[in-house]
Structure 1
Amino acid sequence: AGTAGGTVAGEPPASAPTVDDVVRLAMATADAEGLGGLSMRRIATDLGIPTMTLYRYVRGREDLLARMLDTVYATSPLPDPLPDGWRARAEVCARTMWAAFQRHPWAAHVMSMTRPQVLPHGLPHTEALLSAFGDVGGRRLDLDTRMHLTVSVFQLVRGLGVGIEPAVQARRDDGLTDEEWMDRTLPGLQAVADARRYPHLAAATGTEIDLTLDTLFEFGLARLLDGYAAFLGEAS
């Protein structure tokens, strides 16, 4: 639960809540409990208003989620000025989004790549990448190519980002860190990873490897941009 209008969640607000109050409370609830703990009834109850009254502020759950995601972008601005060069700019855009998803683990699940929401505060992120790929080494890229380069960066971050909330929820549920869970699970995995049938996997399970969502993000981003460099005819 959160607060709205300066009151404790669940108590009647001192004054009528605003749309910002609704969105902030919804974000606080999702941050604390995940999207599974978020419902229109829950938010209305915490605001101290009837559920149907909530629809005066937002059209429904999808509208609320879009407003929440837009607020994530609003509170995760890109640096000003942006770095020069397509690679440096792609890196800063990706890392800004990755940090936002870590602060709000539910956000990657809300973000749609096939039916993108109208997010006014997300436009600078898209514009930054489209402009970065506008002129590479004196080569003017067509808009179709620039859109694919731009959206692929977003997709990489979003694809890895959807793993953050389940990881957070798992830690809440069993009280184990990822390292503690792996220590408990590894013997069972080693038992079934027969070295004669799975020599490479057996070797991997017997070696301490730093493999986390963060390392996957950094590795994946670097390799994606290496591929971009090859595609654009530049040195990696």
Structure 2
Amino acid sequence: MYNISACGKNDGVTTEYSGSGDPQRSIELLWGIQERGKRGPKPRLTVEQIVQEAISLADAEGLGALSMRRVADALKVAPMSLYTYVPSKAELIDVMLDRAYGELPRSEDVSGGWRAQLERIARENWALYHRHPWMLHIAKSRPVMGPNLIARYEHELRAVDGIGLTDVEMDSVVSLVAGHVEGAARRSVEAAQAERHTGMSDEQWWAAHAPLLEKVLDPQRYPTAARVGSAAGAEYGAATHPAHAFEFGLQRVLDGLEVFIQARTRDKR
């Protein structure tokens, strides 16, 4: 079972943007360029200590609770001292995100072919988002290319390398799978957060409101919605089931990719 109950009250209201700080400074932090060239007395802290404390805070209370002051308090140092190591919260978030990607396995198992590999990758990312739900509140349209993000991209591309796709198609395939996983994980985390904030599970919420909904939902006016909605509600005990949506969607994405890859292979014969 995934530990997604630790996110704090700030989750869902804060969106941060990767690459919104100074990209040069972020790259220096991500690749350790600044630390490698540093001389003088041994510093009291390291960037890694700061980043790990920030991740722990975001895991426990959500991204909205993250601030340089909160991290400094946890490390028992003055807030201004953190800026000696990390320029601002924006660059800190870039490094946090990359460190989280570093938790992904890098299995060399190629059994089962590209489909089994992509499915394994999808499940690994699904688990990562549930360990660190704050990652879902970072817009990544301008990613800062850290070592772990690039290693993740390399690993995922290898799953579809040499099967007849162009380089652009390979990129599109891994992006498609990643997009499904992130969207499904976001809905799953939001469902868990709703339960925590309201004190009611989805099953309890629907059970409490079902009688009123039955009164206002006219099956003659909405026959298909009434029939299908009732069947889904009976199956899930709620309007949706995030884990089922992830599993069902993943297999349909892979089914579609299989048809596409087979067609590309035939075209090249």
Under a length normalisation based on structure 2, what TM-score does the superposition of the two structures give? 0.72
- CA distance in structure 2 between the partners assigned to 1:110 and 1:171 by the alignment: 22
1:1-236 aligned at under 5 Å gives the runs 16-110=44-138, 112=140, 114-136=141-163, 140-207=164-231, 208-210=234-236, 211-233=240-262
- CA distance in structure 2 between the partners assigned to 1:181 and 1:70 by the alignment: 37
Deviations 1:90-119 (A, max 9, x none): 11111100011111111122261x222323
Sort the Cα spacing of 1:34 and 1:225 in 2 relative to 1 into closer, same or farther, 3 A: same
Residue aligned with 1:135, SS: coil
Deviations 1:143-202 (A, max 9, x none): 111111111111111122223443333233222223222323433433332212222222
* Equivalent pair of 1:86/1:132 in contact (CA under 8 Å): yes
- CA distance in structure 2 between the partners assigned to 1:135 and 1:45 by the alignment: 51
Deviations 1:10-56 (A, max 9, x none): xxxxx933222222221122112211211222222222222222222
Sort the Cα spacing of 1:28 and 1:227 in 2 relative to 1 into closer, same or farther, 3 A: same
- CA distance in structure 2 between the partners assigned to 1:190 and 1:75 by the alignment: 46
Residue aligned with 1:128, SS: helix
Name stretches of at least 5 consecutive residues in structure 1 with no aligned partner: 1-14
Instruction: Tell me which amino acid in the other structure corresponds to 2:256.
Output: G
* Equivalent pair of 2:188/2:243 in contact (CA under 8 Å): no
Greater RCO, 1 or 2 (C-alpha within 8 Å, sep 6+): 2
- CA distance in structure 1 between the partners assigned to 2:169 and 2:53 by the alignment: 39
Q: Please provide the CA RMSD for this pair.
A: 2.3
Name stretches of at least 5 consecutive residues in structure 2 with no aligned partner: 1-42, 264-269
Residue aligned with 2:117, SS: helix
* Equivalent pair of 1:156/1:221 in contact (CA under 8 Å): yes
Give the percent of matched residue pairs that are identical in Structure 1 and Structure 2: 37
- CA distance in structure 2 between the partners assigned to 1:65 and 1:30 by the alignment: 10
Sort the Cα spacing of 1:173 and 1:196 in 2 relative to 1 into closer, same or farther, 3 A: same
- CA distance in structure 2 between the partners assigned to 1:201 and 1:154 by the alignment: 30
- CA distance in structure 1 between the partners assigned to 2:110 and 2:155 by the alignment: 8
- CA distance in structure 1 between the partners assigned to 2:111 and 2:195 by the alignment: 37
2:5 counterpart residue number: none
Sort the Cα spacing of 1:164 and 1:30 in 2 relative to 1 into closer, same or farther, 3 A: farther
- CA distance in structure 2 between the partners assigned to 1:84 and 1:57 by the alignment: 45
Instruction: Tell me which amino acid in the other structure corresponds to 1:182.
Output: W
- CA distance in structure 1 between the partners assigned to 2:216 and 2:82 by the alignment: 53
- CA distance in structure 2 between the partners assigned to 1:204 and 1:192 by the alignment: 16
Under a length normalisation based on structure 1, what TM-score does the superposition of the two structures give? 0.81
- CA distance in structure 1 between the partners assigned to 2:159 and 2:226 by the alignment: 43
* Equivalent pair of 1:66/1:117 in contact (CA under 8 Å): yes
